[in-house]
Amino acid sequence: MCVWCEQYAGGYERWYLNPANYARRLYKVRREETEASGAEANPQAAGGMSAVGREFLEAKERGDHEAVARMKKEAEQRLWQIHFGQVVTREELDQILDIIYPIALMTCACRRSMRGLPDDENFTCIGMGPGMYKWERWPDTYRGGVHFLTPDEAREVVDVLNRRGLAHTVYTFGTPYLGGICNCDYPDCGGLRTAIDLDVRVVWKGHYVAQVDPDLCNGCGLCARRCQFQALTFSPSTLQAYIDPLKCYGCGLCRNPCKPDAITMVERESMPALADVW
């Protein structure tokens, strides 16, 4: 079971379909330390994009599993209180776009950090909720400012990002409040880098897992380039798509170029051995 749904779904099918989780107050008394720094969500200070430091990499390299496990746990506990994400499908994103307000197109902090991408080339993130009025009011503080979108405009934007091959992720800003829809790719998303490179779960896998129907797959291989999670490869043995269900994040992007509709999304929790793989 997804622990976030367990705690925060409030009777809705998923925690990110519960409108209460988008209703963070515009102004709040900050808690001390870590919570405050995450809630601040400063896209520039976040520039290091690293949930763990060099000491984690060094411990990994010298094979100190105990230290790695301890630092991983500390980082995850901190991140899960403040700022973490979960992958959602395009269909779920449609449902989300119907319950959030306002919807604001904004710049991606990760690509700024990774590539130094100029603001005008970097509008790939969607902020949501009353916090976005601060971005509108003080565009200098919040680099790049925002463009407010209607739900239909947001759908168009999301479709373009989806065609580009970016995976949709919802992010908390002070859990359980969801404040952003990120559109992510490897290697330029800081969250995916941390999750995939270091196995520190700043991004949770989604509620679905992609499966290939070998009777339908025609071996065109177009899906292979869509996977941002190193889960889908083209198998030279079978000449068909191969999906590692343990690595699949369930974004659903691989389905889109598939002419014979050979890829379906299966509920993660319908498979007992995957039910706790997030």
- Residue 213 lies near another protein (rule: CB under 8 A): no
Asked if 113 contacts 190 with a C-beta cutoff of 8 angstroms, the reply is yes
Task: Work out how close the CB of 193 gets to another protein at its nearest, in angstroms, rounded to a whole number.
Answer: 7
Torsion-angle region of 180 (φ positive above 0: left; ψ -120 to 50: alpha; else: beta): beta
Residue from 17, 46, 196, 202 touching another protein (CB under 8 A): that is 46
Among the listed residues 188, 77, 246, 189, the one whose alpha carbon sits nearest the alpha carbon of residue 180 = 189
Establish if 236 lies at the interface with another protein (CB under 8 A): no
Contacting range for another protein; rule: CB under 8 A; set: 6-14, 70-78, 138-146, 168-176: 138-146
Contacts made by residues 91-97, CB under 8 angstroms, sequence distance 24+: 91/252, 92/14, 92/16, 92/17, 92/206, 92/207, 93/158, 93/168, 93/181, 94/155, 95/17, 96/16, 96/17, 96/170, 96/181, 97/151, 97/154, 97/155, 97/158
Q: Which is nearer to another protein, 67 or 114 (CB)?
A: 114
Among 70, 115, 164, 225, interactor with another protein by CB under 8 A: 115
Q: Is 114 near another protein (CB under 8 A)? A: yes
- Taking CA 110 as the corner, what is the angle to CA 106 and CA 61, rounded to the nearest 5 degrees? 165
Does residue 90 touch another protein according to CB under 8 A?
no
Q: What is the DSSP letter of 166?
A: P
Residue with tokens 């998923």: 14
Report the nearest approach of another protein to the CB of residue 37 (Å). Answer: 8
Q: Which is nearer to another protein, 66 or 140 (CB)?
A: 140
Task: Based on the shown chain and the rule CB under 8 A, indicate whether residue 185 belongs to the binding site for another protein.
Answer: no
Tell me how far, at minimum, the Cβ of 108 lies from another protein, in Å: 13
Tokens representing 261 are: 């509709």
The site for another protein, by CB under 8 A, has a size of: 28
DSSP, collapsed to helix, strand or coil, labels residue 139 as: coil
Whole-angstrom distance, CA of residue 146 vs CA of residue 149? 9
- For another protein, the binding residue among 120, 140, 152, 215 (CB under 8 A) is 140
Query: Between β-strands 208-212 and 263-267, what pairing exists: parallel, antiparallel or unpaired?
Result: antiparallel
CB of 278 to another protein, least distance (A): 23
| Of 53-61, 212-220, 248-256, 265-273: span binding another protein (CB under 8 A) | 53-61
Q: With b meaning 16 or more CB within 10 Å and e meaning fewer, what string describes 37-48?
A: bbbebebeebee
Among 156, 197, 261, 267, binds another protein (CB under 8 A): 197
Is 222 one of the binding residues for another protein (CB under 8 A)? no
- The contact set with another protein (CB under 8 A) reads 40, 42, 44-50, 54, 57-58, 60-61, 112-116, 138, 140-141, 143, 187-188, 190, 193, 197
